[in-house]
Structure 1
Amino acid sequence: MAFARIDLSGTLGAIAFLTLLASFAAADEPTLESRLKPLIQAHKGKVSVAIKNLETGESFLYHEDDPMPTASLIKLPIMIESYRQAEEKKIDLGEMLTLKQSDKVPGSGILTDHFSAGAKFPLVDAIHLMIVYSDNTATNLVLDKIGIGSTAAFMEKLGYPNTKAHSKVFRRDTSVFPERSKKFGLGSTTAAEMIRLCESLQKGELVSKEASEAMLKHLRACDDKDKFPRFLPPDTKIAFKTGSVDSSKTAAGIIECGQGPVAVCVMTDENEDKRWVADNAGNRLCAEVARVVFEHFKKDKEDAPASK
């Protein structure tokens, strides 16, 4: 077998040699798919993943169009519908709400255990609690103002027919989609629809630029440390929302990487590991996917490979 002989003398020879080495290194560099597929295939449960670099367009999709249970991830679309109604003057984000004992429901959040009946706060604070602490009582207060079916109606108008809030939290009797509630619980969506929503939010296209930025501010304060942020540097900027029930763990949002913002959605269901601990398999998959995404897109924009 004959090999091409490269003249290494002079500047041009050195450049040719370095170019050759770079091509070999690029060929050996693992792809996003080769990094993610083993993690997904090792998970004992159903998985749906969608990832898109919003700068280069490079993406990874896995069962991205399968409708999945959202758990509390549906609170992100509920927030979007709330800001739409506020923009159209149907609701007032400054309206003062009064917490009643009958409003309190169990699960995540702080209102039920730490606020007394009769406490007053503006609607925008209920939205903030809904996103940051995934507060279930706050979510129901928001739904009382915007209407349970309104989120699904607006999502369908935007082109997201699978994204639906079904009922109030821990109030299955309020479901406006009874059959979907039986199958998916609180809400449903697809990974593909979630990253499209995240992309529109990042671009300032949801409701208005001002509303989009306000919503991103809520999402940047999300306090779930067990999913996307777990293996990332502490100063990583992430705007995201998560969800957890016994058999489903979900997360979606925008991770700021070296190449720019990347929209990521990880959804799991029928998980064998149903433990309520930080290291359960669903949480860990969300965290591992976020780490792979951050490392894969860590290069500066000028050094990034061309989009595939």
Structure 2
Amino acid sequence: MNFQLMEATIHELISDTIDHFSIYIHTKDGDISINAHEPKRAAGTIKIPILIEAYRHLESNIVQPDALVYIENDMKAGGRGVINYLTNSNVYSYKNLLELMIIVSDNTAANIILDKIGMYTVNELATTIGCDHTKIGRRFMGHQDPTLDNYTSARDMVRFLHLIENHNEIVTDTSRKDIKKILLHQQINHKIASYAEQKTNVNIYHKTGELPGIEHDVALVTYREKKVYMAILSENWTNNGTGKDYLADIGKIVLEYTKS
């Protein structure tokens, strides 16, 4: 599948629901941009810039990766994750928390990391690299001001992926390698990665996000020398399962292009 066919197939697929989507896909052959600059509620995808900024803190020795964090019951958050649901398993290293924050989207881990590095540092990172639609306004779950939320855009998310994949002055190459390894170990694989075959040379480094009516996935897909940077943000679904199906179908189309 060439780029033009991929673009046409995606447009045809979402023609009746295009208003639900904010999409940005970057390839060496061209870009696909559909409402890509519109700010959207970020859900779990906001954990990508949190991860990047946390690694910057590790690089500066502000946070020690092996330092242990003792988690009391009042520190636990509901929703996505495992820490809140495990019995007598309340000690983790900061590195473990970063991994859990991504691979199972653990909200308790994310809140502890945010409390350690500060929401404002993540917002400053976004501003520094020109992600003007990305802003963290609240922690995950729990009692909070309903007027505050976390926002991003498809274009911003692809910019964060470029920061992770390419040499830059913001994040060291060693940190970028670690970040990619964590994203590769993602356990929530029923959207962009739904049709990915096991034991192939295709790698999907990604982070999902979901809330009632919202289904997102942000991914760097690589196959040999080919790379696709993609962010699919979708909202206003009456049934989240419908959104997941659309994201899986878009992922299938992109995988066919990537392997061609």
TM-score of the pair, normalised by structure 2 = 0.92
| Inter-CA distance 156–34: structure 2 relative to 1 (3 Å threshold) | same
1:121-200 matches, within 5 Å, as 121-171=92-142, 173=144, 179=147, 181=148, 185=149, 187-200=150-163
2:178 corresponding residue in structure 1? 214
Structure 1 ranges of 4+ moved more than 6 A: none
1:31 to 2:5 alignment: yes
Between the aligned partners of 2:124 and 2:95, the Cα distance in structure 1 is: 21
Q: Residue in 2 aligned with 1:6?
A: none
Alignment identity in percent? 21
After superposing the two structures, state which structure 1 stretch, 211-220 or 106-115, moved more.
Answer: 106-115
Which amino acid in 2 is paired with 1:64? A
| Alignment match of 2:236 (pick from 267, 270, 289) | 270
Q: Which amino acid aligns with 1:157?
A: T
Separation (CA, whole Å) in 2 of partners of 1:76 and 1:129: 12
Gaps of 5+ in 2: none
Residue 42 of structure 1 corresponds to which residue in structure 2?
16
TM-score, structure 1 as length reference: 0.78
**Using the alignment, how far apart are the partners of 1:189 and 1:232 within structure 2?**
26
Q: Which has the larger radius of gyration?
A: 1
CA contact (8 A) 1:195 1:263 kept: yes
Q: State the SS of the aligned residue for 1:225.
A: coil
Specify every segment of 5 or more residues in structure 1 that has no aligned partner in the other structure, as ranges: 1-24, 275-279, 300-308
The separation in 1 between residues aligned to 2:12 and 2:87, in whole angstroms, is 45
Bigger shift: residues 61-70 or 83-92: 83-92
Instruction: State how far apart, in whole Å, the 2-side matches of 1:52 and 1:221 are.
Output: 23
In structure 2, the residue matched to 1:63 is: 35
**Structure 1 position 158, deviation (Å):** 1.6
Secondary structure of the corresponding residue to residue 126 of structure 2: helix
User: Offset of 1:217 from its aligned partner?
Assistant: 0.6
Q: Quote the offset at 1:189 in angstroms.
A: 0.6
How far 1:90 sits from its partner (Å)? 2.1
- Taking a change above 3 Å as real, the CA distance of residues 270 and 76 of structure 1, as seen in their structure-2 partners, is same
Report the count of equivalent residues.
257
Whether contact under 8 Å (2:24, 2:32) holds in the other structure is yes
Deviation string 1:105-162 (CA, Å, 9 cap, x unpaired) is 1111110111426x22210100100000000111111111111222111111121121
Alignment partner for residue 74 of structure 1, among 46, 71, 81? 46
Deviations 1:27-47 (A, max 9, x none): xx9522211112222337521
